[in-house]
Amino acid sequence: MAAHLSYGRVNLNILREAARKELREFLDKCSGSKAIVWDEYLTGPFGLIAQYSLLKEHEVEKMFTLKSGRLPSADVKNIIFFVRPRLELMDIIAENVFSEDKLHSSREFHILFVPRRSMLCEQRLKEQGVLGSFINIDEYILDLIPYDGDLLSMEYESAFRECYLENDQTSLYHTAKGLMTLQALYGTIPQIYGKGECARHVANMMLRMKREFAGSQNQILPVFDTLLLLDRNVDLLTPLATQLTYEGLIDEIYGINNGYVKLPPEKFAQKKQGEASKDLPTEPKKLQLNSAEELYAEIRDKNFNAVGAALSKKAKIISAAFEERHNAKTVGEIKQFVSQLPHMQAARSSLANHTSIAELIKDITSTNLYLSLVSASEAFFDNLTVEQEFMTGVDTDKVNTYIEDCIAQKDPLIKILRLVCMQSVCNNGLKQKVFDYYKREILQTYGYEHILTLNNLEKGGLLKPQTSSRNNYPTIRKTLKLWMEDANEQNPNDISYVYSGYAPLSIRLTQVLARPGWRSIEEVLKMLPGPHFEERQQLPAGLHKKRQQGENRTTLVFFLGGVTYAEIAALRFLSQMEDSGMEYIIATTKLINGTTWIKSLMDRPECQTP
Amino acid sequence: MAFITANWNPLGEAFYRKTELYEMSWNLRDGLRDSLVAAAPYGGPIALLREPHRRSPSSRPQLEIYSASGVAIASFPWKSGPVVQLGWTVSDELLCVQEDGSVLIYDLFGSFKRHFSMGQSTKLQVLEAKVFHSPYGTGVAIVTGSSRFTLATNIDELKLRRLPEVPGLQGKPSCWVVLTQDRQTKVLLSNGPELFILDNTSCTAVCPPGLSPQAGNIVHMSVSFSYKYLALFTDTGHLWTGSSHLQEKLSEVDTKKTTTPKQMIWCRRPKSQQPSVVLMWDRLLLVAGVCSDTDPCVLVGELDGVRIVSSTNQELLQEVPLVCQDIFKIASMAPGALLLEAHREYEKSSQKADEYLREIKEQSMLGEAVRQCVEAAGHEYDTNTQKSLLRAASFGKCFLTDFSPDQFVTTCRELRVLNAVRESSVGLPLTHTQFKQMTLQVLIDRLVYRQFYPLAIEICRYLKIPDYQGVSRVLKHWASYEAIARAVCVKVGDSPGVSYSHIAAKAYECGRTELAIKLLDFEARSGEQVPLLLKMKRSQLALSKAVESGDTDLVYTVVSYLKNEMNRGDFFMTLRNQPVALSLYRQFCKLQEQDTLKDLYNQDDDHQELANYYVTASYREKRLESRLSLLQSAVDEYNKAKNEFAAKATEDEMRLLRFQRKLDDEKGAGLLGLSLQATIEALLALGLHKQAEQLYRDFKVPDKRYWWLKLKSLAEKEEWEELEKFSKSKKSPIGYLAFVEVCIKCNNKYEAKKYVSKVAPEQKVKAHLAVSDLEGAADAAIERRNESEMAAVLSRCSASDRLLIDRLNRARTTATKK
């Protein structure tokens, strides 16, 4: 079921199994039939750990969404609340419990806090007078969720906002805890590198926690050689840019949530003979995307321009395989062919799906200039051109006409914000005049209430006035070779292919760390925000790895504040490079793209219309 | 060595030996006469209460506690009521059962811990009491003046059970014991010739099998350490032994002694086939038959023998373990004995060594020989004997290739430990068998309990026990006793896994708060630090510790505690010194207490946030006036924060709102709340051009945007004439391609064409294409000699445009040539 997690260099299924075991143990604690009341936010992440079937095996008969008022009736012995430790949710639970007691007295209540129980919340339940109604109050430590064979995510959406806008480091505490759990399963990570304030904070907490457990030393041979902690605010630029890998584009255009994407159904309509295509499906098509699907694993990280070729190659292979049946003469051969059929059929339907998705994307991105007017594709292309101008440092200190036009056309605000922030980042802050102009334009066009959002972006450092006269972005760009003129999209030789020219800063830092080391870029590191550091964790004697000749080292790269699919693709590319000698496992607080990221930083006062 | 068997006494098949354990360090004036004595098994401590029945307050009896070797541990005058019985619990606590049924518990050092009572009634009179051990812990049983038995199986979870009445019993029974059988605790008692078993619900008369009726009244009984065997002594001097189930009889001996023995204790080693009973009269010690001794003594039943404590010395009486018998029995030919001999000859450099060795090897018994020597060494008390046995084993081992050294090594280590704790100064005379039964963990606990910290640590280190189980645990206890922060930490500091909070909690209990705080500083687990600090009312410190931990829930907990404890001003000041806590509290307020949020910003002079707060608040207001006044507050705060842009933008918004309200009132335009752009759009849509113009000027809307806006709005309303007029009002800041495209979008190719000619040259091709004028597009492209533009036009041509295609292709070739 989760085989794709164990394919990689590090078997992440261990982590998933540990999480499942804990879940089962909790469920068995509440004997008898149960209903789960879900904090809606948790259903997605939980889906990565356990399907409904597991819950059903443990007598979960009903599932509800947590909402105020009365609980739906269900003939079960136990009601279990699965919630994040948030005060507003406690109030709802209290309401549920109150309205419940009057009707039935025999139902037993339990709370499972994810990822950690909170004294504050329990206090609140006590104040509401319901704390005593709960038989079990437990925590389900779900920090790092295995997302794919080389990818862990905490699915903690607000991490960046909390850290940089609200000075709330809860997510970092959970990160540190999660890393401790990981080390308990995969051994102590001997080397820790980091860049950024949050990274420093996480490393400090880890070292502190290690001291707490010091008496019981971990006797597992370390799987990871290095941990690299990177603050998202060290590289604000990358998520703002439009991702150009296949998976990145799917996420940019349709949004991937907890490994699932919802697509417009038209292209997926099964046209059967004799059936009119009248009744097109209206429900969006929901697809799971991960490396369990062979074809997807193959193409997800390619530049979109290389996907078409890959798909047609695959199509040929598959049809050739189907042709094989004509060659099958003997009963044995036929039997052999038939045994492969399910696999081949799966491959064929996978191919059909991805061909449809690729078509959908192509409609939006196709760069056939002049062909259609004021169309989506032209907008996409123009947008990309401006992004690339900014990244290469062209006219970043002036008001950009394309942005102006977009505002005039009332394009979506998030698109505008992405571009303006990008310009600001690439210019190390905008000139006061330009800065004020953009802000005024945005307020006048999209409404004054966005002044709060602009304040937030300013606080987060995404949009700011230039304070020092020196713009150090060009130096950073040149030293780290962030722009590669001749990015090869079909057969890449450098990570810059993921943005068709722009090499993500975060990944360059990772790459340089592996070889030749950060000492070579000391100057640039000083220009980027936050401290950079190195820590070593002592291993118990006898656990030092004896490395085989040619054996790769494994690095866990942890992005604090989110990572994009394109960055992941770039790291996978580095893992696959023959001479890199390094394999990367990726962990993050949340998988993001420019849109979801900016969205998480927006503030919208609820308006009372007079 | 030859004399090892000198103190062996044969009894049937087995041998018994008495080993001197100690010359007692104590100096008892009156010996053990007239004293209540309790000695705990497993080499436990000895408690002594002189003349327990002396009641005159002028001369109170003295309660004394000694180690097994007689080293004084504590001594204090007994001030409470008369004591009936003393006993030790499994965790080395002293139980003093008083006549009135209350039981006082003291620790090893004579400090009072707690007390409980064996019955509610005030008129309770305890005649006799017994302290017993069972798998459930330590229990107490009493028999009262009303001839009723009361049991408490485990004094740590006190549950009193009053047993049923015994028919015909007056006063106390002639003798009784407590049995633990089938997970039930029962009392076996005799009243004259009758024998009863009392359990929770019933009283059953029983009869020991094979006890001859003439035997007389049972006057003494004893149950073995394991509760498996029972010994009964009758007034005619008959000793009956059998299983405690009273199912089978083992033996019956006529001791020819008609006086009741003072003590009767089972003496057997585990797994022995030869259970025997030790009886003691005033001047006689009898091992089911054998006797000697004169001094008043106390017998202590052990797992594998009996300790005989007298006022001068202490001996262990035990059945000689089989393996020792094998080796040391005179003329024994057991492999172990031969090996010992071989080694002895070897040391003398005699060639006989080889002969002995060969003999063992021929029987392929060398492995067995080594094993025997190792095992026997474990059972020996004398270090020289231990050494020679171990040397012999080591010698024999040399001739074996694949012999696992584990047992040898373990035994050596354990013997070292045992020898160390047997030292008179420590006084734990444990046998190897007892040690195995009691486990190392318990031994260390007992050492710690007796405050032998350095020894305990040495043992932990020597046996390589993991730190958190061993050294750290010992240090924790030690430190909590010594309780001097610096010294503690210097000594404890480098051992990971020490729980300083436990130490600190202890220190706090002792009233040493400052010390506790200092100790807490060393605690790595903040989760442990914080609650204790709160308990000690060091809330500020608790807060900074919580912040340090990074655990935000912990911070919240302290903050909410502080909020209730402090007045508002102090609370805010405290938070101000802790930015992390402050921002968390702000988060909390944002969700829960908006007004407090304002006060917080006010206090910090955070004008920017205060302004933002007012802005957010303004959106919650329904009435325009209140909304405006909040926005005015925002303007003031933005000004104070020197955020000119925001102040200006807010003023603009207020102006816009007033304008919108005015127009809404006048024309019912429904503008309130729209953005400036949307307002202008709406005005244009309503045909209110003048007002739109006014806003455009008043708010300095950039020309470009205004042109776009007007262009689109006019096209949408299909006011083509107005549009044309507008296009001519001045030179378009957005160019004319926009006009073409907007017209096409509104499906008016005719109007679109009007503007094509005005389009700038570089956009001309696009404009022509937009109105599907291929020819025009081709002309423009050719004129500009732009290859890609030509290609773009070409791609739009269909096959019918033959001529055009040719022309373009020709132009392309010329263009490329150049």
State residue B287's pLDDT score.
58
Q: Is residue A179 exposed (0-12), middle (13-18) or buried (19+ Cβ within 10 Å)?
A: buried
Residue B131: which CATH number? 2.130.10.10
Length of chain B as a residue count: 818
Task: Report cis status (omega within 30 of 0) of the bond before A516.
Answer: yes
| Residue A609 covered by a domain | no
Phi then psi dihedrals of residue A494, to 5 deg = -155, 155
**Residue A239 forms part of a structural domain:** no
Q: What angle do CA B264, B269, B275 make, to 5 degrees?
A: 55
For the stretch B141-189, pLDDT in tens is 888 888 888 888 888 887 888 888 888 788 788 888 888 877 788 888 8
Residues B356 and B218 in one domain: no
Asked if the C-beta of A537 comes within 8 angstroms of chain B's C-beta atoms, the answer is: no
Helix (H, G, I), strand (E, B) or coil at B735: coil
Query: In a mutagenesis test of the B interface, which of A92, A120, A210, A453 is the best target, namely the one with the most B β-carbons within 10 Å?
Result: A120
Look up the domain containing B235 and give its range: 1-15+207-320
| Exposure class string for B436-468: b at 16+ Cβ within 10 A, else e | eebebeebbbbbbbbbbbebbbbbbeeeebebb
User: Which helix (H) or strand (E) segment is A585 a member of?
Assistant: strand A582-588
Q: B508 and B451 in one domain?
A: yes
Answer yes or no: is pLDDT of B2 > 50.
no
Is residue B813 predicted with pLDDT exceeding 50? yes
Amino acid at A118: S
For residues A16 and A134, membership in a common domain is answered with yes
Tell me, yes or no, whether A281 lies in a domain.
no
Q: Using an 8 Å Cβ cutoff, are A42 and A8 in contact?
A: no
The reply to whether A507 and A573 lie within a common domain is: yes
Beta carbons of B556 and A605 less than 8 Å apart: no
More reliable by pLDDT, B484 or A269: A269
Q: d(Cα B69, Cα B307) in Å, to the nearest integer? A: 11
Are A123 and A148 part of one and the same domain? no
Of A365, A394, A410, which residue is a domain's last? A365
On whether residue A240 sits in a domain, the answer given is: no
Residues forming beta bridges with residue B266, ordered by sequence position? B277
Chain B touched by A169 (CB under 8 Å):
yes
Distance CA A414, CA A295 (A): 33
Q: Choose the mutation target among A143, A451, A537 for the interface with B, i.e. most B CBs under 10 Å.
A: A451
- Lowest model confidence (mean pLDDT) among A192-201, A393-402, B789-798: B789-798
Amino acid found at A302: K
Q: Nearest 5°: phi and psi at B382?
A: -85, 130
The CATH number that applies at residue A577 is 3.40.50.1910
Q: Which residue of chain A comes nearest to B557, CA vs CA?
A: A120
For residue A373, the chain B residues in CB contact (below 8 A) are 741, 744, 766, 769-770
Q: What value does the mean pLDDT take over residues A139-158?
A: 90
Do residues A339 and A432 share a domain? Answer: no
Whether the predicted pLDDT of A367 surpasses 60: no
Given a cut of 90, whether residue B492 has pLDDT beyond it is: no
Residue where a domain terminates, one of B529, B548, B567: B548
State whether A84 and A162 are in the same domain. no
Asked if residue B405 and residue B347 are part of one domain, the reply reads yes
* pLDDT score of B4 more than 80: no
Question: Does A207 contact chain B (CB < 8 Å)?
Answer: no
B73 pLDDT tier (thresholds 50, 70, 90):
confident
Whole-complex ipTM: 0.88
| B375 and B309 together in one domain | no
Shared domain for B132 and B5, answered yes or no, is no
In this structure, which amino acid lies at residue A99? Answer: S
Q: Name the DSSP letter for residue A563.
A: B
CB B95 within 8 A of CB B86: yes
- Flag if B496 and A215 touch (Cβ within 8 Å): yes
- Whichever domain contains A315, its CATH number is 3.90.830.10
User: Of B332, B310, B335, B312, which is closest to residue B320 (Cα–Cα)?
Assistant: B332
Is the residue at A534 inside a domain? yes
Q: With an 8 Å Cβ cutoff, is A546 touching chain B? A: no
DSSP state of B166: P
A118, B553: Cβ pair inside 8 Å?
A: yes
Identify whether residues B233 and B312 lie together within a single domain.
yes
Residue-wise DSSP of B268-285: --TT-S--EEEEEETTEE
Count CB atoms within 10 A of the CB of residue B110.
Answer: 15
Residue A516 in domain = yes
Question: Which of B337, B344, B346 has its CA nearest to residue B368?
Answer: B337
Q: Look up the CATH number of the domain holding residue A417.
A: 1.25.40.850
How many whole angstroms from its chain centre is CA A231?
15
Tens digit of pLDDT for each residue in B726-768?
Answer: 888 888 888 888 888 888 888 888 888 888 888 888 888 888 8
Say which range, A228-237, A575-584, B658-667, has the weakest mean pLDDT.
A575-584
Residues B376 and B503 in one domain: yes
Query: How many residue contacts between A and B have a Cβ separation below 8 Å?
Result: 164
Among positive and negative, which fits the CA dihedral B427, B431, B433, B436? positive
Q: Using CB atoms within 10 Å of the CB of residue B537, give its burial: 0 to 12 exposed, 13 to 18 middle, 19+ buried.
A: exposed
Flag whether B646 is in a domain: no
Chain B residue numbers with beta carbons less than 8 Å from the beta carbon of A163 are none
Per the DSSP assignment, residues forming a β-bridge with B267 are B276
Identify the burial level of B14 via C-beta atoms within 10 angstroms of its C-beta, where 0-12 means exposed, 13-18 middle and 19 or more buried. Answer: buried
Tokens 């003329």, residue located: B331
Based on the domain organization, do A339 and A430 belong to the same domain? no
The whole-angstrom separation of Cα B462 and Cα A498 is 60
- Residue B709: closest CA among chain A residues belongs to which residue? A408
Q: Do B259 and B290 reside in the same domain of the chain?
A: yes
The domain tally of chain A equals: 4
Average pLDDT over residues B427-443: 82
Question: CB neighbours of A49 closer than 8 A, spacing ≥ 6?
Answer: A16, A19, A20, A23, A142, A145
A371 contacts in B (CB within 8 Å)?
Answer: 792, 795-796
Asked whether residue A596 is domain-assigned, the answer is: no
Whether A328 maps to a domain, the answer reads: yes
Give the closest-approach CA distance of B704 to chain A in angstroms.
8
Q: Is A282 helix (H, G, I), strand (E, B) or coil?
A: coil
Asked if residue A262 and residue A333 are part of one domain, the reply reads: yes
> Among B795, B731, B800, which residue's Cα sits nearest to residue B765?
B795
Q: CB A369 to CB B792 under 8 A?
A: yes
- Mark whether B85 and B152 lie in a shared domain: yes
* A111 shares its domain with A188: no
Structural domains in chain B (count): 3
- Which of B374, B380, B460, B385 lies closest to B409, judged by CA? B374
**pLDDT digit string, tens, across residues A518-547:** 999 999 999 999 999 999 988 877 777 666
Residues A103 and A197 in one domain: no
SS3 state of residue A571: helix
Would an 8 Å CB–CB cutoff place A542 in contact with chain B? no
State CA B540 to chain mean position distance. 27
Taking CA A164 as the corner, what is the angle to CA A161 and CA A165, rounded to the nearest 5 degrees? Answer: 65
A116 vs B contacts (CB less than 8 Å): 553
A499 strand-pairing partners? A502
Which is nearest to B619 in space by CA: A439, A458, A459, A448? A448
| Residue B651 belongs to a domain | no
Cβ–Cβ of A452/B616 closer than 8 Å? yes
Starting at the earlier edge strand, list the strands of the sheet with B160-162.
Answer: B126-134, B137-144, B149-152, B160-162
Percentage of residues in chain B having pLDDT higher than 70: 85
| CB atoms B591 and A88 under 8 Å | yes
Nearest CA in chain A to B609: A455
- Burial pattern B694-720, b for ≥16 Cβ within 10 A else e, equals ebbeebebbebbbbbbbbbbbbeeeeb
Count of CB atoms within 10 A of residue B112's CB? 12
Residue B444 lies in a domain: yes
- Give the range of the structural domain holding residue A420, as residue numbers without chain letter: 375-470
B676:A172 CB<8 A: no
Query: Does residue A101 sit in the same domain as residue A149?
Result: no
**Does any CB of chain B come closer than 8 Å to the CB of residue A451?**
yes
Q: What is the mean pLDDT of residues A79-92?
A: 90
Distance separating alpha carbons of residues B104 and B97, to the nearest angstrom: 7
Backbone angles phi, psi at B126, to 5 degrees: -90, 125
- For residues A104 and A12, state if they share a domain: yes
B487 confidence band (pLDDT: 50, 70, 90): low
Give CA separation, B716 vs A140, B98, B431, B657, B709, in Å: 57, 106, 105, 26, 11
Q: Are residues A33 and A131 in the same domain?
A: yes
- Mean of the per-residue pLDDT values of chain A: 87
- Residue B455 resides in a domain: yes
Q: How far apart are CA B82 and CA A223, in angstroms?
A: 69
| End residue of a domain, out of A81, A107, A142 | A142
- Identify whether residues B459 and B509 lie together within a single domain: yes
The verdict on B171 and B307 lying in the same domain is: no
Give the closest of A167, A211, A451 to B524, CB-based.
Answer: A211
Q: What is the DSSP string of A412-438?
A: -HHHHHHHHHHHHHHTTSB-HHHHHHH
In a domain, B764, yes or no: no
Contact A208 B549 (CB under 8 A): yes
**Contact (Cβ atoms closer than 8 angstroms) between residue B452 and residue B475:** no
Contact: B741, A374; criterion CB under 8 Å: yes
Helix (H) or strand (E) holding B104: strand B102-106
pLDDT tens digit sequence for A411-461 = 899 999 999 999 999 999 999 999 999 999 999 999 999 999 999 999 999
Q: Are residues B512 and B493 in the same domain?
A: yes
Least Cα separation, residue A26 to chain B (angstroms)? 22
Confidence band for B481, pLDDT divided at 50, 70 and 90: low
> Average pLDDT for residues A541-569, to the nearest whole number?
85
d(CA B451, CA B359): 51
Pairing assessment for the beta strands B194-198 and B203-206 based on DSSP bridges:
antiparallel
- Separation in Å, CA B378 to CA B10, B385, B395: 22, 10, 17
Among A323, A343, A365, residue at a domain's last position: A365
Residue among A205, A211, A606 whose CB faces B550 most closely: A205
| Boundary (domain end) residue, out of B320, B338, B356 | B320
The DSSP secondary structure of A200-227, one letter per residue, reads HHHHHHHHHHHHHTTTS---SPPS-SEE
